[in-house]
Structure 1
């Protein structure tokens, strides 16, 4: 006979606290199996407080790689590229063996927020993907009414939660192309928001600005109810675009006091990589054209430079933040390396390719299935 176990979230029973703490340290796949043990464990795994506790574990980080490389054994110049989507199961990156993810899930990834990724084919083929739970949600396509003589040129997304309603939202910003001017349409960009609970899109008006901004990369950063993107004006000056998930309004804030470049090539060679460092919005800036880097943090409403690492003889392209003081970079010979700024050490992660997409995965019990 199965013994019913009552798991409480309070502090009245030490054994209950120990049980909750123990379960919160387990991987998602184990917790999904353990739901069948008893009703209280089933309820616990679905409890929002437990989900949040599990998500915020200090060791809850995995590295995901989307890599394209040239097949050295294929002589066909039109069919010699191989692409794979993999994850490093070892959170410490001590063991560098990789695990291939589901081969049918192909597409550009953006995010994640709380373990949920966006897989993009185009505006009509969008999947929300919880990798750890192997769950998908097909997002309905967004149909937009465009001004005459324009077409959709590019789409940029932000994923996060509205702290007022606790509802997940997906924001879409379209950049239009003016067929008459043969240039990007600079009057406004259509904006729409998808709510998880309603499973539908809403138009939230245009995106007017004094300057027409272009997004400097696919990924957004979510922090405390706001999405953030790096954007570039026509004069190549960069700034930070923010979107409030509650008020659904945009704002542009200035970036750190770093050199700005007035031509495309120099601006592109000195990217601003957005990330979170000590739970603060941060930017990794290339100080000497990919030979050295500055870390800037937004604290108290202003930017402060924390430290510099480099200069290096070799050039590096920054990808993303890893753990505190560690950054993922691509070397000039297309190797993925991990740099530890504290010990000033490089680690080759054994990945070489033509193109990379690097994402940080947190194991998450948040479901993307429709209720």
Structure 2
């Protein structure tokens, strides 16, 4: 074979590899698991850190690839039989196609995920990794590869007075500047006076440190923080006198460890305000009187800007918002067809058809009605720079 033929042949093979890699990066993890056994080259490609990052970027921006994690509690006897323990069932299914016929895949958390504690776990998701805080334990877990990492609780000497607080909020985000995963713990020392202590944990250094606290005069919502694009975002109210009557999004930029405040425009302020992350976008959902708004935000530099608002006048009356029949818990996502999906307080689900202005309620027979937590996450092969436990 001549030099030119060999050169053209090699170029074709390289092009084919690039095309195959591009196609693979757009597939969900279930498909990639199967394709790893096709050939050594494909297996090597799928395990490559650059490919894993590309696959995370593709899946995170595609609502069809995002799954909903469903956590429900159960009572289990303790090994010594002296008292009962609280354990959890964890299942997952695709969020965008969630319906009464959805198949729920059971996940097996680390065996220590049970306790006498009767509270429910705090769960955050980033790049396919789950940060779970429960019963004085913090651990990172990738359900796809079945590995976890136990994180030390904040040291009292690092975060003084951390042993005396009313509650705590935990956020989890990826710092692309240092290629590090970070956990932010916000301890509510006194909610009434807006007093907080904030610590941040670096997975790479496996250590906590105290950072600047929440801007003065703001009171945080008791909601799980939402991670996106290197930020950990929390809803808050501003105290301008006798009442908390102004709202804002407080964002922690994990790379430089500083807080940025984005005010919520007055026309978007109302009841049942909730921050969520659907398909790699930050959304605020809110009821303003009987109208339901979904506001999309985009990050410009350090601040979020308001880019799109969906207004649905009929939704409030259809589902009973504004009276004693209000039974919504968390908005889960905007589905690809534009419909809105909620979780109900009784463990069921509700889907609003925007085009037909109809509401459908359903339950999943494969999960108990006592679903305590639901959170969106994207499956991936993401790992840590430090050893797993």
TM-score of the alignment, normalized to the shorter chain, above 0.5:
yes
Report the counterpart of residue 49 of structure 1 in structure 2.
50
| 1:360 to 2:376 alignment | yes
Report the counterpart of residue 213 of structure 1 in structure 2.
219
| 1:296 to 2:320 alignment | no
Report the counterpart of residue 96 of structure 1 in structure 2.
102
Report the counterpart of residue 183 of structure 2 in structure 1.
170
Report the counterpart of residue 165 of structure 2 in structure 1.
152
Report the counterpart of residue 242 of structure 1 in structure 2.
251
User: Does the 8 Å contact 1:214/1:232 carry over to 2?
Assistant: yes
- Gaps in structure 2 of 5+ consecutive residues: 1-10, 76-83, 115-119, 321-326
Structure 1 position 92, deviation (Å): 2.6
In the TM superposition, what are the counterparts of 1:134-283 in structure 2 within 5 Å? 134-145=146-157, 151-177=164-190, 186=194, 188-204=195-211, 206-207=212-213, 209-218=215-224, 220-233=225-238, 235-237=243-245, 238-258=247-267, 270-276=271-277, 279-283=280-284
1:113-154 Cα distance to aligned partner (Å, 9 max, x none): 1111111114x4101111222221111121124667971221
What CA distance in whole angstroms lies between the structure 2 residues aligned with 1:93 and 1:22?
Answer: 25
User: Does the 8 Å contact 1:216/1:229 carry over to 2?
Assistant: no
What CA distance in whole angstroms lies between the structure 1 residues aligned with 2:74 and 2:358?
Answer: 26
User: Does the 8 Å contact 1:256/1:296 carry over to 2?
Assistant: no
Alpha carbons of structure 1 residues 275 and 25: separation in structure 2 relative to 1, 3 Å: same
What CA distance in whole angstroms lies between the structure 1 residues aligned with 2:232 and 2:342?
Answer: 24
Structure 1 position 208, deviation (Å): 5.3
Q: Identify the match of residue 138 of structure 2 among 126, 131, 138.
A: 126
Structure 1 position 370, deviation (Å): 2.5
**Partner SS, residue 246 of structure 1:** coil
What CA distance in whole angstroms lies between the structure 2 residues aligned with 1:149 and 1:360?
Answer: 30
**Partner SS, residue 17 of structure 2:** helix
Structure 1 position 53, deviation (Å): 2.6
User: Does the 8 Å contact 1:322/1:360 carry over to 2?
Assistant: no
Higher helix share: 2
Structure 1 position 221, deviation (Å): 2.0
Alpha carbons of structure 1 residues 33 and 320: separation in structure 2 relative to 1, 3 Å: closer
User: Does the 8 Å contact 2:335/2:341 carry over to 1?
Assistant: no
What CA distance in whole angstroms lies between the structure 1 residues aligned with 2:125 and 2:311?
Answer: 27
Which stretch of structure 1 is more off in the superposition, 333-342 or 250-259?
A: 333-342
User: Does the 8 Å contact 1:216/1:232 carry over to 2?
Assistant: no
User: Does the 8 Å contact 2:66/2:279 carry over to 1?
Assistant: no
